[in-house]
A and B are shown apart, each in its own frame.
Chain A
Amino acid sequence: GAGVSQSPSNKVTEKGKDVELRCDPISGHTALYWYRQRLGQGLEFLIYFQGNSAPDKSGLPSDRFSAERTGESVSTLTIQRTQQEDSAVYLCASSLGSGRLNEQFFGPGTRLTVL
């Protein structure tokens, strides 16, 4: 498949545990984004990676959230000491670049439930 893939598709965890979410972007896409979508709400920007530039972390809601990307490939989003308000769908998207090339292709998301 040539699309964006994410794993796991569903994650149920207990409050206080750490979780790691994975995203595999489309091959050749230099830009990668993480979003959070709470039930019935729009997409909330979390973090952006572009090539070897420093990531834009301006959307991360707290220092419990962090993300890494290896080159122009896989990215992981880590949430430490999860809280119930972290329950949401976490979407990853990738794109070729800016302007029309900035069409973002979304993965299926990871549904996180914190009990």
Chain B
Amino acid sequence: GQNIDQPTEMTATEGAIVQINCTYQTSGFNGLFWYQQHAGEAPTFLSYNVLDGLEEKGRFSSFLSRSKGYSYLLLKELQMKDSASYLCAVDNDYKLSFGAGTTVTVRA
């Protein structure tokens, strides 16, 4: 089966940095996605990692270690609009297996 774990909730202050960890145990692995989902909306793509290391894209960065089955999403210079759920998803052939999501609340 697929097992993807991430924290349920995180709270941080505007302007701060938050790191959302994701650990996975899956029967296959082609890559790892991070999606952002605002309440009541569809998930939108944030990042994709297929090789080990850090991928930086503006205020958001994503890291992958395939040997450890571990990824994190780093959100810098937090803004109120970053309050959302962040979903980790493992690409296993054609299917994505999603974690339950981490709800990030940004406080002023």
Contact = CB atoms under 8 A, between A and B. Distances in A.
Interface in A16-58: 31, 33, 35, 41-45, 48, 50, 56
Contact of A98 (B30, B45, B48, B87): B30
A79 interface: no
A99 interface: yes
B91 interface: yes
Interface string B21-51: 0000000001101000000011111001010
Interface of B: 30-31, 33, 41-45, 48, 50, 87, 89, 91, 93-101
B42 A102 contact: no
Contacts, number: 58
Contacts of B91: 98-99, 102
A43 B43 contact: yes
Contacts of B30: 98-99, 102
Contact of A108 (B42, B87, B89, B97): B42
Interface residues of A, number: 23
A48 B94 contact: yes
A80 B48 CA distance: 37
